[in-house]
Each structure stands twice: as C-alpha cells, then as structure tokens.
A and B are shown apart, each in its own frame.
Chain A
Amino acid sequence: MTATDVQITTRPDGMDTYPGQQPRMGFFTDTSVCIGCKACEVACKEWNGVPEDGLNLTGMSYDNTGSLNASTWRHVAFIEQIGRSSEPGESRWLMSSDVCKHCTEAACLDVCPTGALMRTEFGTVVVQDDICNGCGYCVTACPFGVIARRETDGGAHKCTLCYDRMGDGQTPACALACPTESIQYGPVDELRERAQRRVGELHDQGNDAARLYLDDPTDGIGGGGAFFLLLDEPEVYGLPPDPVVTTRDLPRMWRHVARAGAALAAGALAACLGWEGRNR
C-alpha cells in the first residue's frame, strides 16, 4: 500500500482523517462546576515535570499564576463579580481552568519551520522537544498566547494533552485530578454532545449567559480540541472573543504578493522595452 492508496477524508469538524484512525481526543472544561482548587495546575506540573515558575502575588484575585506559558500548562482564572446588594445570584466568582486549545487550524503548527510541532494520531498538537530550535515563530502565531519559550532551555513548551498518558489509554493528569469533573476528557465528538446538553441544562435553569466557546467547527480556528463552557463573555475570562488562526490569510497574502510582484516585473519590462523603442 502506498501513500496514495490511503483514503483520506475530511471530517465535519475540519480535520482530515484516514480509516482506522484513533478518534480525536480533547477536553471539555465546564467552568460552571470549577471550584478553583488548582489541582489541575499541580497535577500537570507533577506529571510533566514542568518547573515552578515564580512566586508572585499578582493581586488578580486568587490567580497567582497569571497566564499560560512555557511553564504553566493549566491556568485557573478568577474573576470577582460581587454585586452591591447581597441578593442571591447578584454575586459571582467565576473560576475557569484555561489550557491550550489544540486548535483544528493551529497556527503554531503552520508556522513551525522545523516540524517540531506536529499533529498526533489523537488530533492533538504537540511540541517535540528534541527537534524544537527555539526560533519562537509559534509564540507570535498563537492567537491565545498559549505557547512560549522557556528561559532555562530556550525551547517552546505547551500542553501535550498528556500524550504519554493517552497512548497508554490513561486520562490526562489534570482531568484525573479535577474533583468536580470540571475538566472532562474524551473523544471530541462525545464531549461536544455532552457540552450541548449541559449548556441546555443551564439555560433551563435560567442561566442565560452560559455559552460554549470554541466548540464550533466553523469558527476562526475550526473549533478547538479543547473547548469550554463559560458563564460570561470570553473577554471576561481574558480569552479572545473571536479568535482566528493567524495563518488564515497567508495564502491570499502570498497570492497578492505574487500578483504585485508579477505586476512589478511586467511594468519593469514594459519600461525597458519602451526605453529601447524611444531610442531607436
């Protein structure tokens, strides 16, 4: 069997697939049941040997982690929305565990010049540490500011969705540690169905602001392998409201460059020929 014999089809969610492939795996993070315990942050670092990255009281509520970066692959955000009256329901403290989105259309993957960033058989995006040269192109490419370079080794690092655990049929560390099943791991199709049911439940309970984020294959990143249920606008959580894969316009841009270049060449040629003609 040669490469041309393999029947490759494009799934509804935009990912290419071949017969016998593993189902695409990912995370559904239901922030409505997050209790802000940060077990996910600790479990991830323990399993992956990610270093402690700074004792820094940020003053951002109970979030002293700050953001995702090379040495923080799960980050719990805290947003205080305390109302002036003590009416039940007027006060909220939103808590949400952020993670790499493992985008269907992953700009980091697109721009990586060495091929260190790759798409795994589970549909996840992973950095191969032994190939990464630390060029940092991926850092500027990510619309979410997830991936970054680590000062101590110069390489780019991010969530692997516990690729080494998945391969053994085990659950990623953060999902396993989460006491309230805010972080759910499984086939992305199944998670999306579950998420739809859950957001429907919340709407029935009168929680109209509940919505899913990055579950839609037609959005700017083709949907995320890791997607979320939020209780407010994405910006409230520090997330871009309408992220677009930053390489989306690259083909059109290069074609434009090519046309401009061709026009320039044609114009230069015409000018040369005209000059020639004038002097005869």
Chain B
Amino acid sequence: MAEAHPVGFQWVMEAKARGAKVIHVDPRYSRTSALADLHAPIRAGADIAFLGGLINYVLTHEKYFREYVVNYSNAPTILSEDYADTEDLDGVFSGLDKAHRMYHIDTWRYQGEGAEPAGGDRGAEPEWEARLQRTARGEVHGSGGPAVHREPDTDETLRHPRCVFQVLKRHFARYTPEMVAQVTGMPEDLFQKIAELITENSGREKTTAFVYSVGWTQHTVGVQYIRAAAILQTLLGNIGRPGGGLMALRGHASIQGSTDIPTLFDLLPGYLPMPFASTGEDLDSYVRADIVHKGFWANTREYTVSLLKAWWGDAATAGNDFCYDYLPRLTGSHSTYDTAVAQIEGECKGYILLGQNPAVGSANARMQRLGMANLDWLVVRDFVLIESATWWKDGPEIETGELRTEDIGTEVFFLPAAAHTEKDGSFTNTQRMLQWHHTAVEPAADARSDLWFTYHLGRKIREKLAGSADEMDRPILDLTWDYPTSGSLAEPDADAVLAEINGWDADGNPLSSYTQLAADGSTACGCWIYCGVRAGGENQAARRKPGGDQSWVAPEWGWAWPANRRILYNRASADPEGNPWSQRKALVWWDRDKGEWTGHDVPDFARNRPPDYRPPEGAAGVAALSGIDPFIMQADGKAWLFAPAGLVDGPLPTHYEPQESPVTNPLYGQQHNPVRQIITHRENPLQPSGGEPGASVYPYVVTTYRLTEHHTAGGMSRFLPYLAELQPELFCEVSPELAAERGLDHLGWATVVSARGAIEARVLVTKRIMPLRMDGRVLHQVGIPWHWGPNGYTTGDAANELAHLSLDPNVHIQEAKALACDIRPGRRPRGPALRAFVRDYQQRAGITERTGMEP
C-alpha cells in the first residue's frame, strides 16, 4: 500500500500511531513492509492456502465470534444432500462439466430449494448455460445471488452435518499450519503469529481490517481469494464494523467509478447486468432473470426504468418498454481480451482508447499489438504518444521484423487529452466516495477532456444521422443529449451530467435517495447507487468540510454511495437486540424511543424496522428482510460463508495452482481452477506446470508489481523527468541465492523468458526477495515492476510481454501476479533472433496448442 497508495498510507501510519499493529503479507519486502510490525513472505499465487489456513485456525480453536456468525451469516443454513465438496472429489465440487468447462450449480443450493436452471427460458442446455456464464451473469449475481425462494432450513446449534458451518470446517480441515508452510513457503511460526494477532484483535471490543489490491485479484482464482478473506472476516465478526471489513484499494484514475458507471462490457450503471441476447428480450424477462425475492435487488425494475428514462427521456414510455430495446445485447464475452482476439481474427475493425495503453498495460501485450495491426482504424486519446499510438512504427514487432510499417493498414488518430487538473469531474475511490475536482487551468492547444470528446462526438454523429428513417438510428437520435456547454472550448457542464446521474422526479426536482425510484417512468436516474449525490440540488461530492470540524465518520467530506453510507452492512455493528457489540465500536444502533436506527453513520437498514421484526409468510422484496438480516443485498439477508450461487467456480474458495506454476498442487489432485477462462489462440501459448514434462524449463515464479515512483503502464510517469530520474530503468529483483544460482550480477543485465516473450532488465540483487523453503525444496521468485515500455524519457521492456491470458472466469481478470519463467544473465536477443529465442524455449518445454488447457 505504501508503494502504490502512499497518500492513502498516511492513514495506516495514523492508525499505527494510535497503537494499531500492521501485518504485511507479500512475496517481497516492500516499502510497506518497512513500516509494518510484521512481514510474512508468501509464494505468489498461494494466498488461498494462507487464508484457508487462517479460517481453519479460527474454526479449530473456536476463535469465531459465535453470536455474530449464528445470527448474521448463513453458517446455520443446511445444504442440499446433492452437494459434494472438494474433500469428496479430490479438489473439485459437484456439478463439474469438464467438457463444457463449467459448473452446473444446482447441487450447491440450500436444502429445499428447487433446482433452477440459470438459463431462464432456454433451460439447462450446457452450451447455452456456458455461453451465459461467459457473459458474466455471475458477476452481477455476485451482489445478491439469484432467487432463494423460501426461508432456508437451519440449525442454529451449528451441528447438522450439512449445515454450512460444518461443511466449511470439513472443507478447510486440511489447511493446517504445516500445510500452509508447505504450499506458501510462509514459515509456520510466522503464520501462527499472524493467526494469534488477528484473532486477539477481533470480537466485540476490537476489529481487524484486511486491505488488498491486485495482488489478490489478478489470478485465475482472484475472486475466490476475496471470498476467502470475506469468509474469514465474517467468522471473526469484522464485516460492517468500524475498523473492520475488506478494503479493496482502488482509486487510480477513478477505477471504482469505472465499474460503478461502467466502462465494462457486461454491466450497466449501478451493477445492473447488460442484457443478454434472447434471454433479455423485453423488460419483463430482463427483470425476471435478475430479480430476487428478498432484499434491495427486488427493485431491479425501478432502477432499470429510471436509467432508461435518464438516457432516452421523453422517448422512453411505458408503451415501448421505456426504450429497453435500444440497449445493446451481449452474445458472449466481449471482454478486452476477447476483443483482442476478435481484432486479430478480423472481426473487430475499430478501436478507441481513452487513457488506456494496452500495448504495454495489458497481459500478453504482443497480442494487443497484433490485434491493433489488423484494425481499420484506431483512435488514441492521451497526454503523450504512448506505445499504443506508435507501435506501428517503433513497436517490438517492427524490431523483430514480424510487422512492417508499410504493410500495416490501420489508420491511427492521436488526440491530445486534458489532464484532471484541466477539467471538472469526479473521482470515485476505494471507499465508494465521490470527490469532485475543479478545473484549475484550461487545457492547452488541442487538448480536450474525455467529456468534451464524448459529448461532441455524439453531437456530430447525431447531426449526421438527423432525419434518418432507419430504425437502427433511433437509439442514438432518441438519446437525451442536451448538456449545456460553456466557454471558448464549448466544454460540457460536468455538474449537469452529475445531476442526470443523480436523477430527478417527474417535476424535475433532484432526488435524494434510490428508494424514491419508480418503475412507472416518473423518475429518471443515471445510476441508482449514485442517487443522492446531488440531493437538494447541491453537489455533495464537492464538499470539503475539514475532518476536525465534524465527527470521526466525516460524512461531510465528499459523498459515498449509496446514500452517503460510509460502512456497508453496518447493521452488523449492533447485536440482534440492536445494541452496539461494544461502546468502543459503536457505529449504528436501534433507538427504541424514536423507533428508528441511528448512529454515527447512515444506517444500512430499513430505518424504522425494529430488530425483532420477523417477516410474515409470503413477504417479498425489502419487506422480507428481518430485523436481523444485515446483509440486505443478499437473497437471504445473511453473509454467505457458503455461496450457493453467484460465482462460476465454486461455492467455497479452494487452493489451486496458478495457470503456470513450478509446483504440483500439494492439496489436491486437481492442479488448476477447472473452469478458468483461457483465451484459446495461437498467440497465447501456455506452459506446462508442476510435475509435467517441460515445466522445469520455466522454473522460477515471477510476480509483477508497482513502484511508488511510476504509475501503471507508465504513460503518466515515464515521460516526466522528475519521476523518470527516481526510477530510471527497468529492473528485476532477485535474491542473492538466485543470483548465485543463475550467475546474475547486481546492476548487470538479465533476460526473463516465458512462452509469450522475453524481456531484459537490470538486476537488483536484494535480500528483500526471500527464497522460499517449501516441501523439501527451495523455490525462487523474481519481482518485476510493470511500468516500462519503449517510449518516453525512461524506456525499457514491458513486463506484460511475459504474461498469458488465462483469466478468472467470474470477472475475466488476467493472472499477472503469478507467472513461471526462466531468468538468465545477459541482454536479450534483438531482431528476428528474439522470436527464435522464445520459440526455442517453447520447443524445449514441449509446448503444443493443448498445453496448459486441461480443465
């Protein structure tokens, strides 16, 4: 966190100053470790084993917060008889369909639930279901899960053999401290120390927080990493409580905002799903596919209709399904990596890159450039000539001779972009907090903001289409596209866009809460979770009341979604009677006299619903949530220790090896995530792993990471002298032991090679990278910052030349954090010799198009 979020890290330092203990788990000893009380090394890709070990410790030593677990989680819920665990099936769950690389999840359901096909009207045809899964229905349902139709059968004594609690115990029983050491390389005494620290620091009086970023998410089991931490935190009673929770560090370039109001193919604003062709044929079937019968997702129709009214205004009426038909339809996965394949295959002809540098920043960077070389046209908006704008004349494929500039037909447009200091707008950061920023200086010359570009592009397209009689043009022509512009640049008013996102009622009054949204077309709202950001007509995101002038929750700095609630699920900070678990950790509580929930934070609960409320038979939607259902977005109102639905690769996290690993899975016969998503393509060759022949050709674990001095793919740092001089060259970090083994010299050169490519880097020999002793062998790791590319003030090879495209199947994220490579002294070959070098390694490893593909 100190490396990638130095300004945010000041709050960790504040906590430390008040006595908090800081534990850092990371393959390398970084600047965060330097300020931590304890650093534990870990093998990159093995965190589920570590977290599973902690879960096992908590269960074995009965360190869980029992009253919290019994009342607020699905620990007592009894599962279907048909469920079979990884303990029964040597590492996989029941319902695995290897041929279609998917799970049929009906055996994961609660006892008494009917088996429900995920595919709606099309039933349970495997091909259909597989396609549906690839459109990331899972990602949407993850925030609530599909329907749970009745009150589940439970055992509050937690003894029933098929209750979630017992299933959890059995599932994680093999994750002992010895097993953790064997799988992760983390010494047992360190693991023990961590387990003691976090359990001592959880419960009524104290809470523990977990903080993570892409070191956890960028894996073929990335989502399961987060699940493991969520299970642990639920058992410890740390969710929904001050100083607890799971904090995903976001914030770079408003990346939280980029999923809230998404730039993702599969989501509409507010995490509504993008409709899928043929299952979402009309609004009713769309809503039916996603509605749940309990909790706030029951209002899917209200959120959707209000969104459609925001986009199509008066053209959207009850008679035309509110222009639902204008929404694009998915036919499969259109994620960025699928798009690169479509480009290589000639199916995708055009590309617009807004502040994105896939030629350096995307895994398997070479595939990105080969894709762009096959486009008809490419538009790049950025501050500087990033590699994604110049690959056609000076990219790696020009150097190797694989591509020749004169043969590339892509027409490339470069448009200069305004920086965040040169435009109004918002950032949505880690805490779901929106903070407004104001224009400090006008952009120079032709530089323009993204808002300007998007608005005027839309305006020009609409002008060209004006008067068209073609049905296909109506979605563009019927859009509300009337934002005011001002100044010599005709800059659109960002605040006006925010007002539309906030929404208004039929009279044009700004809304203040998503509970006001209606399904009859009387409300418009561009993003239901942001409803309230402009409550009362005031830009709440622009508030800057100093912390010293308000409560410790600081609700008047910026605005957090939803409803300026700072901690989600904060009902769980009070006991079943509605009293805080302790005065020290009081956050929200039930005021019996006033008959309402109150406290330091906005209660994340129906305000007037007493703790002793139990829903009547047949209750649905929000009314079906009882007074002790803090997890209001879940179908049963409980924290899901076991996830009966919502994830495509298992109801419980399980340690699998990364796609490419020198280690055979010590825990199960199943080596990999059986349903990981592999981009199958000749340009994405995969390596053998574990004990397979040829795996030893790439014997070292490589992990990629960030440095404080540079920023992401380097477009904002490599071109600046003051930052370039702080970290002036790409380097790799190796232990003295590995340096001795491979003949690497400090400050010398090294070449790192994978099946995809080879890069060169200067060598930093340092004890901060520790060899791991595991299972009778020594495993070495190599660390490589991923900021470099061939352009700029400081140049170097891109680490993403090494990375493959085997992805987490829930969210399509690449596994950039755990690769297997070889490292050798000296600079890499140049020209055609480079590809020959990479091919030679592939041949020695015996790589074919089938390698690494097995489920």
Q: Does A55 lie within 8 Å of B728, measured CB to CB?
A: yes
Interface size class of A (residues with CB under 8 A): 20 to 34
B441 to chain A, nearest CB (A): 15
- On whether A93 and B13 interact (CB within 8 A), knowing A37-B2, A57-B731, A59-B764, the answer reads no
> What's the minimum C-beta distance from A61 to chain B, rounded to whole angstroms?
7
Nearest CB of chain A from residue B415's CB, rounded to whole Å: 27
Among A37, A80, A88, the residue within 8 A (CB) of B768 is A80
Tell which of A39-47, A114-122, A234-242, A269-277 binds the partner.
A39-47
Interface: A20 (CB within 8 A): no
Q: How far, in Å, is A107 (CB) from chain B's closest CB?
A: 29
Contact across chains for A35 and B6 when beta carbons are under 8 A apart: yes
| Bound form: Cα–Cα A53–B794 in Å | 14
A37 with B6, Cβ < 8 A, contacts A55-B793, A57-B762, A59-B747 known: yes
Q: Tell which of B6, B766, B770 touches A86, judged by Cβ atoms closer than 8 Å.
A: B770
Docked complex Cα distance between A215 and B747 (Å): 37
The answer on a CB contact under 8 Å between A54 and B725 is: yes
A contact residues around B762 at 8 Å (CB): 57
Query: Is A92 in contact with chain B by the CB < 8 A criterion?
Result: yes
A57 touches B728 (CB 8 A): yes
In chain B, positions 397-440 with a C-beta closer than 8 Å to chain A are none
> Is the pair A35, B2 in contact by a Cβ cutoff of 8 Å?
yes
Q: A151 interface residue, CB < 8 Å from B?
A: no
Knowing A38-B726, A55-B793, A95-B31, the reply to whether A33 touches B13 (Cβ < 8 A) is yes
Q: Among A33, A38, A52, A56, point to the contact of B708 (Cβ < 8 A).
A: A38
Query: Does A22 belong to the interface (CB within 8 Å)?
Result: no
In the bound complex, residues from chain B placing their C-beta under 8 Å from that of A29 are none
Contact check, A35 vs B187: say whether CB atoms are below 8 A apart: no
Are A35 and B725 neighbours in the complex by a CB distance under 8 Å?
A: no
Distance of A180 Cα from B1 Cα, bound (Å): 13
By a CB distance below 8 angstroms, the chain B residues around A93 are 29, 31, 33-34, 768
User: Chain B's nearest CB lies how many Å from the CB of A143?
Assistant: 27
A37 touches B10 (CB 8 A): no
Check if B724 sits within 8 Å of A38, measured CB to CB: no
With A35-B2, A37-B2, A57-B729 given, is the CB distance from A82 to B7 under 8 Å? no
Across the two chains, which residue of chain B brings its CB closest to A46? B722
A residues less than 8 Å from B9 (CB atoms): 35, 179-180
Q: Is A86 within 8 A of B187, CB to CB?
A: yes
Interface positions of B from 732 to 756, Cβ below 8 Å from A: 746-747
Task: State how many angstroms separate the Cβ of B200 from the closest Cβ of chain A.
Answer: 15
Inter-subunit contact B727/A62 (CB<8 Å): yes
Name the residue of chain B whose CB is nearest to the CB of A201.
B17
Q: How far does the Cβ of A237 sit from chain B's closest Cβ, in whole Å?
A: 14
A17 CB within 8 Å of chain B? no
| Chain A positions within 8 Å of B728 at CB level | 55-57, 64
- Report B500 CB to chain A, min CB distance, Å: 35
Answer yes or no: A97 CB below 8 A from chain B CBs. Answer: no
Evaluate whether A86 and B709 lie within 8 angstroms (CB atoms) in the complex, with A57-B731, A57-B747, A64-B726 already known: no
Across the interface, name the chain B residue whose C-beta is closest to A94: B34
Which residues of B have CB within 8 Å of A36?
2, 31, 34, 708
* A120–B190 CA distance with the chains assembled, in angstroms: 53
Asked whether any CB of chain A lies closer than 8 Å to the CB of B37, the reply is yes
**Those of B743-797 within 8 Å (CB) of chain A:** 746-747, 762, 764, 766-768, 770, 793-794
- Interface flags, A71-93, vs B, CB<8A=1, else 0: 00000000010100010100111
Whole-angstrom distance between the Cβ of A156 and the nearest chain B Cβ:
21
- Which among B38-46, B387-395, B822-830 touches the partner chain? B38-46
Nearest-neighbour CB distance to chain A for B513, whole angstroms, equals: 35
- CB pair B725 A95 closer than 8 Å: no
Contact A42 B6 (CB under 8 A): no
Binary B-proximity of A241-260 (CB < 8 A = 1, otherwise 0) = 00000000000000000000
A180 to B31, CA, bound (A): 13
Interface status of A104 (Cβ within 8 A of chain B): no
Give A53's nearest chain B residue, CB to CB: B725
B610 to chain A, nearest CB (A): 44
Interface flags for A193-233 (1: CB within 8 Å of B; 0: not) read: 00000000000000000000000000000000000000000
Q: Please tell me if A160 contacts chain B, counting CB pairs below 8 Å.
A: no
The docked-state distance in angstroms from the alpha carbon of A56 to that of B41 is 30
Q: Is B350 an interface residue (CB 8 A)?
A: no
In the assembled complex, which residues on chain B have CB atoms less than 8 Å from the CB atom of A35? 2, 6, 9, 13, 31-32, 34-35, 708
A69 within 8 A of B: no
Instruction: Kindly list chain A residues whose C-beta atoms are within 8 Å of the C-beta of B35.
Output: 33, 35
Tell me the A15-42 residues at the B interface (CB within 8 Å): 33, 35-39, 41-42
Is B723 positioned at the interface, with any CB of A under 8 Å from its CB?
Answer: yes
**In the complex, what residue of chain A is closest to B721 when comparing beta carbons?**
A52
Instruction: Decide if A179 touches B729 in the complex (CB within 8 Å).
Output: no
Q: Are A45 and B39 in contact (CB under 8 A)?
A: no
B746 near A59 with CB under 8 A, answer yes
**Bound state CA distance, A33 and B725, in angstroms?**
24
How far is B729's CA from A61's CA once the two chains are assembled, in angstroms?
13
Within the assembled complex, what's the spacing in Å between the Cα atoms of A59 and B765?
A: 9
Complex interface: chain A residues within 8 A of B592 (CB): none
Cβ-based interface call for A65 (8 A): yes
Determine if A37 and B722 form an interchain contact, defined as CB atoms under 8 angstroms apart.
no
B193 at the interface (CB under 8 A from A): yes
CA distance A41 to B762 in the complex (A): 24
Q: Which residues of B contact A61 (CB under 8 A)?
A: 764, 766
The smallest C-beta distance from A21 to any residue of chain B, in angstroms, reads: 31
Are B190 and A86 in contact, CB atoms less than 8 angstroms apart?
Answer: yes
Residues of A within 8 A of B746 (CB): 59
Min distance, Cβ A40 to any Cβ of chain B, angstroms: 11
- Hey, which chain B residues are within 8 Å of A41, CB to CB? 722, 726
A33 and B15 alpha carbons, distance in the complex (Å): 12
User: For residue A91, which residues in chain B have a CB less than 8 angstroms away from its CB?
Assistant: 29, 33, 39
In whole Å, how far is A198's beta carbon from the nearest beta carbon of chain B? 10
Q: Collect the chain A residues with CB atoms within 8 Å of residue B768's CB.
A: 80, 82, 93
Docked CA distance A46–B722 (Å): 8
User: Which residues on A sit within 8 Å (CB–CB) of B729?
Assistant: 55, 57
Q: Is the CB of A179 within 8 A of B10?
A: yes
- With a cutoff of 8 Å between Cβ atoms, the chain A residues found around residue B724 in the complex are 52, 55
B7: chain A residues within 8 A (beta carbon) = 179
* CB neighbours of B13 from chain A (8 A): 33, 35, 180
With A and B bound together, what is the CA distance between A114 and B764 in angstroms?
45
A88 and B726 form a contact (CB under 8 A)? no
Contact with A along B30-69 (1 / 0, CB 8 A): 0111110111110000000000000000000000000000
Contact assessment for A86 and B40 in the assembled complex, using a CB-CB cutoff below 8 Å: yes
Contacts of B707 in A (CB 8 A): 62
Query: Chain B contacts of A46 at CB under 8 A?
Result: 722
| A56 to B727 Cα, complex, angstroms | 8
In contact, A95 and B764 (Cβ under 8 angstroms): no
Return A24 CB to nearest CB of chain B, in Å: 27
Whole-angstrom distance between the alpha carbons of A168 and B709 in the complex? 30
Q: Mark B236-262, 1 if CB is under 8 A from A, else 0.
A: 000000000000000000000000000
Which of chain B's residues have a CB closer than 8 A to the CB of A56?
725, 728
Residues of A within 8 A of B708 (CB): 35-38
A81 to chain B minimum Cβ distance, whole angstroms, is: 9
Chain A residue nearest to B39 in the complex (CB): A91
B524 to chain A, nearest CB (A): 41
Q: Of all chain A residues, which has the CB nearest B730?
A: A57
Query: CA–CA, A53 to B721, complex, Å?
Result: 9
A55→B41 contact, CB < 8 A: no
Give the CA-CA distance A33 to B709 in the complex, in Å: 18
* Contact residues in B for A65 (Cβ distance below 8 Å): 725-726
Cα of A92 to Cα of B39 in the assembled complex, Å: 10
The contact sample of 28 A-B pairs, CB cut-off 8 A, is A33-B13, A35-B6, A35-B32, A37-B31, A37-B708, A41-B722, A46-B722, A52-B721, A52-B725, A55-B724, A55-B725, A55-B793, A55-B794, A56-B725, A57-B747, A62-B31, A62-B727, A64-B727, A65-B726, A80-B766, A82-B29, A82-B767, A86-B40, A88-B190, A88-B193, A91-B29, A93-B768, A179-B10
Known: A41-B722, A94-B34. 4 other contacts (CB 8 A): A57-B747, A59-B746, A179-B9, A181-B10
